[in-house]
Structures are given as structure tokens and as C-alpha cells.
Amino acid sequence: MIDPQLSGQNVLVTGGGANIGGAISRAFAAQGARVAVHYLAQEPPAPDGTAWAHLTPSAASAERLATEIGVAVSADLSHPDAARQLVDAVERRLGPINVLVNNAAHCESADTLDTLDAASLERHYRVNAVAPALLIAEVARRHTAGVPLCVVNISTDAARAFPGQIGYGTSKAALEALTRATALELGPREIRVNAVAPGPVQTGWMTEAIVEHSASVIPMGRVGEPSDISDAVVFLASRQARWITGQVLQVAGGHAL
């Protein structure tokens, strides 16, 4: 890319304090964007018999990153009023949002049909599908014609087929459907909506055995790095992607094709 034309734009990255979200936040800042790093101030305890599959980045990590690249904003995306409150907070501190990255996700274990219950499904869908929908609606309602606005949703290749991740995978499949539906509705308003679907990415959760096994089934022979995902997100937000909308870009080294 010669010039993605992101300098000076306001970017909100949900779950942007560390891991893939942190890489996305840093990648936009490197292009001269002003980044609002969203975080969950306090993670609730997991119910008995359940564990959160990935640790939520801490408030401290988000605050540290924000001192380097922008501002930190807290919201519990499982709450129905979180979208409005989060967008209000970003606009107060930065101004209108030009790029929304729906990266925050909920993933828990066990997540099989044998362990499935309504509460687990609701936890997955609230964060992975409902919150992104409400955030897209919120920024779209506030959009001014002629002002750049695009959305990049972070899905997963588990949305295609991944046994053992029923709530997580299906909620991310809903996010991909949301990507297409909102792209169709918002295209006439010059708002683009796309998604990136990462494959296995090492953010510290993979043991050496998992890395070795994952690499053996990925055609390109390695697991992903957070920068593999952040580069794709920046591309979809860039001027070079100005006629791309409604797409789910698989960034997985050929995994789960």
C-alpha cells in the first residue's frame, strides 16, 4: 500500500488492549490514526464447570497501550446499553468514529453439545454477535455523509466448522452473516462492512504441542501471528479496499478451507 489514507482517522478497536486486538490497535496507530482502545474493566468469574478459553486483556494493559497510541475506554459488551455508552465515550475524547473494529470476543470451555446450555449460548452471542450489531447500528446512525466510515469484524475459521466450539463457532457465523447483511444495507450510505476470519494464532494460549499440531495441518506450515491479522484489518480499512464490502477474508494460511 502506498498510502492507506488512515492518518488522522479515529479508530475504535474493541478488545484492543493486547493479543490480536493490541496488534490491530498498534497497526492503526502506525498509520497515524487515533485509536480508542476498548477493554473490559473487570472480567466476571466463570460459572462452575466452565472456564474462559482465553484470558481477557487486563485494564492495565489497555491503559499502558493507550498512553502510547490514543485513549482507553471501558465497557462491558454483554450489557445492552454498552454500544451507546462506548460510542459516546469515544466521541467525547476523539470525535466521530471513522473505523470500527469489532474484535472483542467471548470464548469458553467446555463448548460442546454435551455441555451446551442456554446461559452459555447467551454469553457467546451477546458479545460475539449482538454487541457488534448494536455497535454497527450506533455508528451508522451517527454517520455524516461524506465522512469516511468502515467496519471490520473479527470472526474465526471456527465459524466454518469446528467441533467442540458450538457456541463460539455459531456466534461467529452469525457475525459473518451480520457482515453481509449490514454491508448490503449500508452500502448506499457509503459505509463498508467486511470481516477477517483468523486461523490458529499464537497469542500465548498455545502449548508447543498445539503449535506443532496446528502447523502440521496448515498448508502454509505455520501458525499465525497477531500481525498477520492486523495487516489484513488495516488493508480492509484502507483506501485500497474502497470498493470491497460484505466480504469475509480468511487469514489462516490455508487452514479450514
Q: Kind and range of the H or E element at 88?
A: helix 82-93
Known catalytic membership, residue 168? yes
Could you give the CA distance from residue 56 to residue 67 in angstroms, rounded to a whole number?
A: 19
CA distances from 22 to 14, 97, 152, 156, 230 (A): 10, 18, 15, 17, 9
Of these residues, 28, 39, 168, 235, which one is catalytic?
A: 168
- Find out whether 147 and 188 touch, Cβ atoms under 8 Å: no
Closest listed residue to residue 132, CA positions, set 184, 91, 177: 177
Report DSSP letters for 36-67, one per residue: EEEE-SSPPPPPTT-EESSPPPPHHHHHHHHH
Residue with C-alpha cell 471456527? 158
The answer for residues whose C-beta is within 8 angstroms of residue 209's C-beta and 6 or more apart is none
Catalytic residues: 168
